[in-house]
Amino acid sequence: MGAEHRLARAHGVFNVLAGLWPLVSMRSFEWVFGPKADRWLEHTVAGLLITTGCAQLRAADGAPELARALGVGAAGTLLAVDLVYVPLGRLRPTYLLDAAMEIAWIVAWARRRRGVTGYRSAAGRTGVGCWPAMPWTMPRARRSWGRRRSWSAVRATSSGSRLRIAVAASGAITEK
């Protein structure tokens, strides 16, 4: 069992335990993180964390790239919520402890990414999270989104104050 498999298992167990905590003892959870007005929402997030953790545990052996995508995606989402709502006063400052933990998971996955085979760009970089690499860096045979649509290029350029996105799909370029 390699380091990435151990990381996937550890992060999966962490997410399962983090999801179980408010379901098993809402009293201790609220003592640390503050009272919750909408317990149904806390239970929903708990269920999603348990599901994500179980998927990571299942993917640890056969699909470590999926485990990484789930781990980085979940950690990034929780980190964003912590960093947005603590300064606004909607969440207690104790959520910054969670933010530190989510940063640690993201860093751990980023450090492991070098040892994983995946798509590599011309610069030799692999992607993180849900995106193994940007589509224009993928080998042509792997570059398809959807059924018969083959994206040959996605380009974003800034022109003054407006953002121009040109997408070349099936030989036709559309701009928005």
Q: Give pLDDT tens digits along the chain (176 positions).
A: 688 889 999 999 999 999 999 999 999 999 999 998 899 999 999 999 999 999 999 998 888 889 999 999 999 999 999 999 999 999 999 999 999 999 999 999 999 876 544 444 344 444 444 444 444 444 444 444 444 444 444 334 334 433 333 333 334 444 44
Tell me how far apart the alpha carbons of residues 49 and 105 are, in angstroms, rounded to a whole number: 14
pLDDT tens-digit map of 104-150: 999 999 998 765 444 443 444 444 444 444 444 444 444 444 444 44
Q: Please state the φ and ψ torsions of residue 132, each to the nearest 5 degrees.
A: -60, -35
Q: Cα–Cα distances in Å, from 66 out to 16, 35, 60, 113, 174?
A: 17, 34, 8, 12, 32
**What letter does residue 173 receive in the DSSP assignment?**
E
111 touches 119 (CB < 8 A):
no
Q: What is the pTM of this model?
A: 0.63
Residue 170: strand, helix, or coil? coil
How many C-beta atoms surround the C-beta of residue 53 within 10 A?
Answer: 24
129 torsion bin: left (phi>0), alpha (psi -120 to 50), beta (else): left
**Whole-angstrom Cα distance, residue 108 to residue 97?**
17
